[in-house]
Structure 1
Amino acid sequence: MDAVDAVSRSVAALAVLVGGEPSGAAVLNAGGGAPLVDGGDALRDAADVCLDGFAEVARLEARFAALKVLLTAEFVQAAGALVLPARSAQEGSAQAMAVIAEVACALTVSEGTAAALVSESRALTTALPRTLAALQAGTISWQHARVVVDETAHLDAAGAAGLEEHFLDPEAAKPARGCPAGELVPGRFRAKVRAWRERHHPVSIEKRHAKSAEDRRVEFVPDRDGMAWLSTYLPAATAAGIWDRTTTAARALQGPSEARTLTQLRADVAAAWLLTSGTNRMEATGGTGGTGGTGGTGAGDVPSPRAQVLITVPVLSLLGAAEEPATLDGYGPIPPSMARRLIAEGAGSFHRVLIDPRDGAPLEIGRSSYRLTGAQRRWLRLRDGKCPFPGCNNASLDNEADHLLAWADGGTTGITNLGQPCRKHHRLKHTSAWTPTGASKNHPPGWTSPMGRRYPSESQDWEPPPWPAILAALTQPAEADPGPQPDLGLLADEDHDADLGWNPPPGADPGWDLDAELDSGWDLDAELDSGWDLDAELDSGLPPDPGPDPELPVDPLPARYHPAA
């Protein structure tokens, strides 16, 4: 088989790479390309060889996984052909169990693992050709492939193909933003794929959320050593608010005399809130040992803090003219009705962020508690979504804002010179040769390693939201006049506008073009730069609010999109 031969050649090349050449000859990569070692410092060259070896091992593991998928699919097909067609559902189930048991014994894995492999192999070989091809090429890992299989399980063929195209085809009309799929750790890749799935699922998120909300519950599961799990299944906005509020309170309890970790403090805070009659003041005294155990002593009363949660809302969804999902910071897509309700109720813990209907980029941040440092921190949370270090999933609201170029070295306090690394990677930046690269208003910084290797930033995968049908129709060029129709010919007037495809408002230019109007009459970048300059530290005042006028909810077209009279 060609796949087996390719893997064998790669293994042989890798053995040469790792073993080295006694003669000092250059070590070639698996494809026979340029030398991996070409003089220079011997220790740095040895480290470079190891890093290249890691990359080649990862590609080999992916190719082996693809080979296992092909072998599994072929075995299932061959085994099915060796038996007579099942005459009942029970007989068919027995045949499937026999095949799974054979795979499990051959691979020395459990039957549950074998069943999952059979199911995933079937999906990859029949419905996900791009994913299988990327796995065979070694550009994504087996974990990445499983993410695609999981998230396309309930999509139709067109939806699965669209997801593959978006994330795995760099030549797609609307490819994913940021670094390629294979350069994301699987957990971060799953978050992006899940967000895309929520936006493009054939069933609206409103219907799916309404059905799932009926299953909300609290569960208690006993565990070993006198411990137990208490979990809740809640709407995302509620859960995110609880999590951020608990984290803020736990951070407030930390100090030189506090021995408990942040994770332990979260648990103690939550227990104190649930077991006391009031939540305006909180006393977290527990831990696991009280005053004499490992949990430390009481930390005293701490004010109950407010959660600080960002909600990114498409402008048209806020107006009720579209049903594009909103995005809850730290979670992902939520129903637009949930976002509208939170904003309408004036929830002070939730900060509104509007996004442009043309390209999905943010327009402005809501005015609640609008201070210089607070506004910049919220913008960093919106831009980065988490700690910008590769693979880090820390989205804590107290990640530390940091100058990419130090203030002492001439760095400014502008968004393009700021990042929000977690404490661990903030410390890494200042105690090692790991260096952040440049950032922009909408793209977080990448990183350069001590070995000089560059790792790109993981940008937010913003997409232009779909426009409502009425707006899409108004932005389409008018069709050519097909000629007089039987009834319309009786009413024809030489002075009447010949374009029957669209009647402009009275006094408007019949040739009005939305794109031209947006480009010439309303320049978003100019408006943001002149009215709200983050790089100037926002000291000129509040940004202009692009939200609707009171009467606009009854008008399907926002006022700024209407042609001038």
Structure 2
Amino acid sequence: MESRAVVETMEAVEASVSALSGLVRHAVGSMGTASADPLRDQADACLDGLAELARTEARMAALKVHFAAGYARAAMASAAPARSPQEHTAQDMALTAEVACVLTVSERTAGALLAEAQALSTTLPLTLSALQAGNISWQHARIMVDETDNLDTAGAAGLEAHFLDPDAPSAARGCPAGDLVPARFRAKARTWRERHHPVSIEKRHNRSAAERRVEYTPDRDGMAWLSAYLPASQAAGAWDRITTAARSLQGADEARTLTQLRADVAATWLLTSGRETAGNATAGDVPSPAAQVLITVPALSLLGLSEEPAMLDGYGPIPPSMGRALVADGASSFLRVLTDPCDGAPLEVGRTSYRISTALRQWLRLRDGKCPFPGCNNQSLDNDADHLLAWADGGSTGISNLGQPCRKHHRLKHTSGWKPAGASPTEPPGWTSPAGRHYASEQPDWEPPVLPVEILAMTTSRDPGEPDPGTLEPGLLGSGMPDYLDEPPPEFDLTDHPLAEDPFKDWELFLAYDSYAAA
């Protein structure tokens, strides 16, 4: 055990306890003061107390890590060398049983704690430091252990730095990792891991696809679970198709919830092919709409020149071959969108009318990825497009004045003091509570495109003093874009060679060449 680290963590815990004591006294005594608003003072003190208590719990978890890892090292060092694999296993079992009994938990839980303590104390220093400082919770630390599993040392360090080192070259955008609810942090960490895993996502997907299956698990009260392990594109398409059909059945005369309707629709399609009754509605009334899966494929990946993952709305990175297949099959919601060629961020599409067009709604889905309320997981297809500043109050219908809250948080905006604000072309709006506290919204982690070696080789023959394309600053066109991009394109006589009709009517939203020329 590193005694210095333990002492520093203990001092941080003591400081938290002292701060909590002061907050408790303030919360209890504020009602007897001559303050102009004692109730608000008490409410603020309670919220501050909850925040400090969360930091204290994180620091206590860091102490548990230090003690668990320290006991494991001491016990193994004092034990006689194992003479066989069986003896080594017996020593591990004895060690785990000791910790389980001390903590009054199962041996499985104790074993997980020892494994997590080992990883945090040896290979994840930034995570353990953030836990000791109270900047992340124990749940965040466990997720970091899970998502760095099977990564090499460099990969684990890169994932840590991306989320926990604000000075890292490719630090995560938006609110800090500790400000994300654990489920959202896991989604972002998994996305980064998929993009940067040393083994190609194609190889990992092919290996996992061979394990696809449907499972049946009996449950209580005459119920059971039926689950399917499928390629992400199939699962996302099936989920959207079921949801769309279930929503079409909702109405004043329909008593079933959306969740119940999803279950009834799925059972109807699986058991009857839509020819018999299901619940209190006939299967013939259940429409069978085409799936609408938003798939964003990098241009070079679409052309087969790179192996960058595509992004599936509501899921995350998928193999580029799956993205190309969805595009080739004519996925109806595939959106060709103008993106910044240096940092991968989409660009704003301006609008002047009140009506929010389909293209702008799709753009909102790309910018936000989900309902922007902190911690909400509701995906884009179920959300509302909403003016942050009402049109009647002078708000424009531009991307910087739009959000896509889910129904629940849309109602929250109009029926309480919660208000969204601070949207930009690349950032979803954060939310300010009735207590005056602002909570940042999660942001998608865009990354610069990975250029294939053939294209990189074309940049090697440049004039002396011309900036290296690999050092371009992020942002549209960057500050060191080569001079040839500022020159007008050459003129060609197309009189006798007319171009074929463009199959993509919105192609200008996909390529940034006009922006280059204008710049």
TM range (shorter): 0.7 to 0.9
2:72 matches 1:72: no
Give SS of 1:143's match: helix
Which residue in 1 is equivalent to 2:19? 13
User: For residues 276 and 434 of structure 2, what CA distance do their matches in structure 1 show?
Assistant: 45
Asked if structure 2 preserves the Cα contact closer than 8 Å seen for 1:313 and 1:354, the reply is no
More deviation in 153-162 or 432-441?
A: 432-441
Q: Kindly tell me the number of residue pairs found equivalent between the two proteins.
A: 479
1:133 and 2:129 matched? yes
Task: Say which of 456, 464, 478 aligns to 2:448.
Answer: 464
Q: Distance in 1 between matches of 2:313 and 2:136?
A: 27
* 1:111 alignment counterpart: 107
- Residues of 2 paired with 1:79 and 1:346: CA distance? 61
Instruction: Tell me whether 454-463 or 468-477 shows the greater mean CA deviation.
Output: 468-477
CA drift of 1:473 comes to 3.1
Distance 1:235 1:299 in 2: 27
Matched residue of 2:296: which SS? strand
Letter in 1 for 2:407: R
SS of 1:218's equivalent in the other structure is strand
In structure 1, give the amino acid aligned to 2:455: L
Is 2:139 aligned against 1:143? yes
Could you say which residue in structure 2 is the equivalent of 1:435? 419
Secondary structure in 1 matching 2:382: coil
Looking at CA atoms only, which structure, 1 or 2, has the larger radius of gyration?
1
TM-score, structure 2 normalization: 0.86
CA deviation after TM superposition for structure 1 residue 447, in Å: 0.7
Alignment CA distance shift 1:326-1:385 (3 Å): same
Structure 1 residues not aligned, in runs of 5+? 27-36, 291-296, 366-370, 482-498, 502-512, 523-540, 549-557
Matched, 1:194 2:190: yes
Give the superposition deviation at 1:147. Answer: 0.8
| Equivalent of residue 450 in structure 1, options 415, 430, 434 | 434
SS in structure 2 at match of 1:389: coil
The alpha-carbon deviation at position 123 of structure 1 amounts to 0.3
- The alignment status of 1:240 with 2:207, answered yes or no, reads no
Bigger RCO of structures 1 and 2 (CA < 8 A, at least 6 apart): 2
Deviation at 1:394, TM superposition (A): 0.6
One-letter code aligned to 1:474: M
Among 409, 414, 423, the alignment partner of 1:425 is 409
* Shift in CA distance, 48/400, structure 1 to aligned 2, threshold 3 Å: same
Q: For 2:328 and 2:34, how far apart are their aligned partners in 1?
A: 64
Q: How far is 1:520 from its partner?
A: 6.0
Structure-2 change in CA distance of 1:160 and 1:479 (3 Å): farther
Paired position in structure 1 for 2:8: 2
Between the aligned partners of 2:69 and 2:81, the Cα distance in structure 1 is 18
What does the per-residue CA deviation read over 1:107-139, in whole Å, with 9 as the maximum and x for residues that have no partner?
111100000000000000000000000000010
- The partner residue of 2:215 within 191, 204, 219 is 219
Question: Does the CA-based 8 Å contact 2:383-2:406 persist in structure 1?
Answer: yes
Change (3 A) 1:546 1:429: closer
Identity %: 66
From the superposition, tell whether residues 317 and 268 of structure 1 become closer, same or farther in structure 2 (CA, over 3 Å): same
Alignment of 1:378-393 (within 5 A): 378-393=362-377
AA aligned opposite 1:17: L
Does the aligned pair in 2 maintain the 1:285–1:300 contact within 8 Å? no
Q: Which residue is equivalent to 1:160?
A: 156
Deviations 1:529-558 (A, max 9, x none): xxxxxxxxxxxx95615469xxxxxxxxx9
Aligned to 1:433, the other structure's residue is in SS state coil
From 382, 390, 398, the equivalent of 1:414 is 398
Q: CA deviation at 1:273?
A: 1.1
**CA distance change for structure 1 residues 324 and 346 in 2, over 3 Å: closer, same or farther?**
same
CA spacing shift, 1:232–1:350, aligned 2, 3 Å: farther
Measure the CA separation in 2 of the matches of 1:545 and 1:433: 38
CA gap 1:343/1:219 in 2 versus in 1, 3 angstroms: same
Out of 403-412 and 85-94, give the one that drifted further: 403-412
TM-score where L is the length of structure 1: 0.79
Query: Given that residues 314 and 354 in structure 1 are in contact (C-alpha distance below 8 angstroms), is that contact kept between their aligned partners in structure 2?
Result: no
Separation in structure 1 between the aligned mates of residue 333 and residue 422 of structure 2, nearest angstrom: 31
Runs ≥4 residues deviating over 6 A: 21-26, 558-562
Sort the Cα spacing of 1:301 and 1:361 in 2 relative to 1 into closer, same or farther, 3 A.
Answer: same
Matches within 5 A, 1:90-109: 90-109=86-105
Q: What 5-or-longer segments of structure 2 have no aligned partner?
A: 1-6, 350-354, 469-479, 490-504
